[in-house]
A and B are shown apart, each in its own frame.
Chain A
Amino acid sequence: MIEGRISETQFPFAGQPDRATLIIGFAVSLIIAAFLVGIDRNGLLWEAPDRITYDWRTYLFSERAKAPRDDMVLIRVNEDSLTGYPYLSPIDRGMTAELVRQIAEAQPAAIGLDFIFDRVTEPSKDNALLAALKDVNARVPVIIGAVDERSGSRDAAPLYQERLIKDGGLRGGHIYFATDQERLSLGDQAVRFIVAPSPAPPARPAFSQALADAVGKGFAPASALIYWRHSPTEAGAHFLPTFTLLPHRDATGKRTGPVLPDSWRAVLRGKIVLIGGAFSDRDLHMTPLSVATNGFVHGVEIHAQMLAQRLDKRSVYVMNWWQEFMLVAAVAGLGFFAGRLWRVSGDGWKTSALAFVVFVSASFGLFAAFSFILPTATLFFAWPAGLLTGQHMGWVTERLGPSGTETQGEA
């Protein structure tokens, strides 16, 4: 017999598995599935060998936008934008007030401010921003980024933030997104997940959800995984029209121009305008798309991806626990009966390797075709677990059974 080859042998029960074998196989499959899914859902399962392909799968098979988005605009604020201002953080509230008023004059569909308003700054500027947001919100929905108790030591409802929301009549959306949490390792720190509202009050929706709701296009994705989309290929086009606010003061603080250039305003009309920081040393994140470039993106760009996903009603699909349980049980069951019905040499490692290749190929195909994530970690262990159990069950039944009849299927 050739090493690793599956060859059919005579089955001891007239070529068909008897009822007892079927019952045992069924029970073994359920036990294996319960064990694997249980430890996986608790972060205790080793990652599958194809873990290194997950981000490549996202990078290589995520859609590429055919054209830049025509329903959103991003305005970034960086160090150069704040030339002539005495501090970078918090971003000058007087400048923010002026920027929001000028954006509102362009009649956008909504304005999203991805800044943190957890502290007061200069009272006159804080008040100016509140007045501007209140005034603008009467005509254009304004959503501000909000923090909650998940920011650690910060107040769960900072006074100035809550004052803006309450006195300005604004909506707040939490600014969080999440990386993968693992128990056996540190994880890779890449942002992958949309985060649910805090369980503690004031429970606010995600920033992107609040913005989508504001324009009547709220959508809850089928899973928490962010649906990434590449920028268009042509002519260096941005994913969405993107501007970096220009310096409008000289180094001494003297005004040199408008906060928002006139020529940009026509682009904002009817769009959702996101405003966020783009500083070189903060709010920078890796995403699965970073795997090819090592590039970091700013938080507001991740919010833009999540907002686009909601506006397009796109989802990445994953299995819930019982769907995964059924699939893992089926694969374990196949392994079990393969081990019982055929002689597999080499302890089945070659068939397990083949099964693994099939799972990985299927995971790429399903993601490319349906944005569906196959749980390869549990499947990878399910096949050999079922196979080994099936192969060695004869040894067990031989010792447990009354007649001690030898069964085959052992390696």
Chain B
Amino acid sequence: MRMSFTLALAGALLLAGAGMAVAGLEVTRSTAPGIKVGAKFNDEAIFEVPAGGEIELLKTPQNTTHKIAGPYTGTLAKFATACPWWKAVVGSCKAPGDTKEGGTRGLRIGE
């Protein structure tokens, strides 16, 4: 009886373990030096992305993709993209490297 209980418990733990897929991050695009496309990390990895650099990550098993724009040092989970509304209203959310309408000839005044 005791043996069968132990077996049942071990079986349950194995099944639970099989259901818990290991979360991981794979770099799918990178302009940050030192972070190579295809490199894999765990959820807790700390990324160091310099100003002007970007990396994109595939998060499994959720199958979601994420972008970290530098300058940023920290984990993916703590990276926040949303600009608070009060910063948006005063123009603090404008990215300096935005592309331009008209492509190569469509410079903005001041550039």
The interface of chain A, by Cβ under 8 A from chain B, is 56, 59-60, 64, 67-68, 70, 189, 230-231, 233-238, 241-244, 246, 261, 263-264, 266-267, 280-282, 284-286, 292-296
Which B residues from 5 to 59 make CB contacts under 8 A with A? 26, 28-29, 37-38, 56, 58
Given A284-B103, A296-B100, do A264 and B58 touch, yes or no (CB 8 Å)?
A: yes
Query: Are A68 and B100 within 8 A (Cβ)?
Result: no
- Decide yes or no: A293 and B98 within 8 Å by CB, A236-B67, A280-B103 being known contacts: yes
The answer on a CB contact under 8 Å between B99 and A293 is no
B87: nearest chain-A partner, CB-CB: A292
CB-defined contacts of A189 to chain B, threshold 8 Å: 101
Binary interface encoding of chain B residues 64-81 relative to chain A, with 1 for a CB under 8 A from any of its CBs, else 0: 111111000000111111
Q: In the assembled complex, which residues on chain B have CB atoms less than 8 Å from the CB atom of A263? A: 26, 58
Once bound together, how far apart are the Cα atoms of A282 and B105, in whole Å? 11
Which 6 A-B pairs rank lowest in CB-CB distance, beginning with the nearest?
A281-B103, A292-B88, A233-B82, A68-B64, A267-B63, A236-B66
Measured in the bound complex, the distance between the Cα atoms of B89 and A97 in whole Å is 45
Q: How far is the CB of A256 from chain B (nearest CB, A)?
A: 12
Q: How many A-B residue pairs have CB under 8 A?
A: 99
* Apart from A230-B82, A233-B81, A234-B77, 14 more pairs, CB < 8 Å: A236-B66, A236-B67, A241-B63, A243-B28, A243-B58, A243-B65, A246-B28, A284-B101, A286-B101, A292-B91, A293-B83, A293-B95, A296-B99, A296-B100
Contact of B66 among A237, A261, A281, A294 (CB under 8 A): A237
Residues in chain A near residue B78, CB distance under 8 A:
235
Query: Are the CB atoms of B88 and A236 closer together than 8 Å?
Result: no
**Other-chain contact of B67, A238, A285, A295 (Cβ < 8 Å):** A238
Do residues B104 and A281 form an inter-chain contact, with CB atoms below 8 A? Answer: yes
Q: Which residues of A contact B67 (CB under 8 A)?
A: 236, 238
Q: How far is B58's CA from A243's CA once the two chains are assembled, in angstroms?
A: 9
Determine chain A's interface SS by DSSP, over half rule: loop
> B29 near A244 (CB under 8 angstroms)?
yes
Q: A230 CA to B64 CA in the complex, in Å?
A: 16
> In the assembly, what is the distance between CA of A206 and CA of B95, in Å?
31
| B24 smallest CB distance to A (angstroms) | 10
Q: What A residues does B88 contact at CB under 8 A?
A: 59-60, 292-293
Closest chain B residue to A279, Cβ basis: B103
| Residue count of chain B within 8 Å CB distance of chain A | 36
Q: Complex formed: what's the CA distance from A285 to B67 in Å?
A: 20
A59's nearest neighbour on chain B, judged by CB, is B88
Cβ-defined contact, B99 with A284, below 8 A: yes
Nearest CB in chain A to that of B28: its residue: A243
CA distance A345 to B66 in the complex (A): 59
Asked if B93 contacts A56 (CB within 8 A), the reply is no
Contacts of A230 in B (CB 8 A): 82
| B94 CB-CB contact with A under 8 Å | yes
Contacts of B77 in A (CB 8 A): 234-235
A238 vs B93: C-alpha distance when bound (angstroms) = 18
Contact B94 A264 (CB under 8 A): no
CB of B95 within 8 A of CB of A295, answer yes
Let me know if A244 and B28 touch, CB within 8 A.
yes
8 A-B residue contacts at CB 8 Å? Answer: A241-B63, A246-B37, A266-B63, A281-B99, A284-B99, A293-B93, A295-B95, A296-B99
CB pair B65–A231 under 8 Å, yes or no, is no
Once the chains bind, are B93 and A292 in contact (CB under 8 Å)?
Answer: yes
User: Which residues of A have CB within 8 Å of B29?
Assistant: 243-244, 246
Expressed in whole angstroms, the Cα–Cα distance for A231 and B95 within the complex equals 17
Which residues on B sit within 8 Å (CB–CB) of A282?
103
Return the chain A residue nearest B92 by Cβ. A292
Contacts A60-B85, A281-B104, A286-B101; A294 near B65 (Cβ below 8 A): no
Inter-chain contacts of A70 with B (CB < 8 A): 63
| Contacts A233-B80, A241-B64 given; does A296 touch B69 at CB 8 Å | no
B63 touches A294 (CB 8 A): no
* Contact across chains for A264 and B28 when beta carbons are under 8 A apart: yes
Across the interface, which residues of B come within 8 angstroms of A244, CB to CB?
Answer: 28-29, 56
Chain B nearest CB, measured from A304 CB (Å): 13
Q: Let me know if A242 and B26 touch, CB within 8 A.
A: no
CA distance A18 to B9 in the complex (A): 89
Give the Cβ gap from A154 to chain B, nearest Cβ, in Å.
20
CA distance A97 to B29 in the complex (A): 23
> Which of A189, A238, A292 has the most chain B CB atoms closer than 10 A to its own CB?
A292
| Distance A181 CA – B13 CA, assembled complex (angstroms) | 64
Q: By the criterion CB–CB under 8 Å, are A236 and B79 in contact?
A: yes
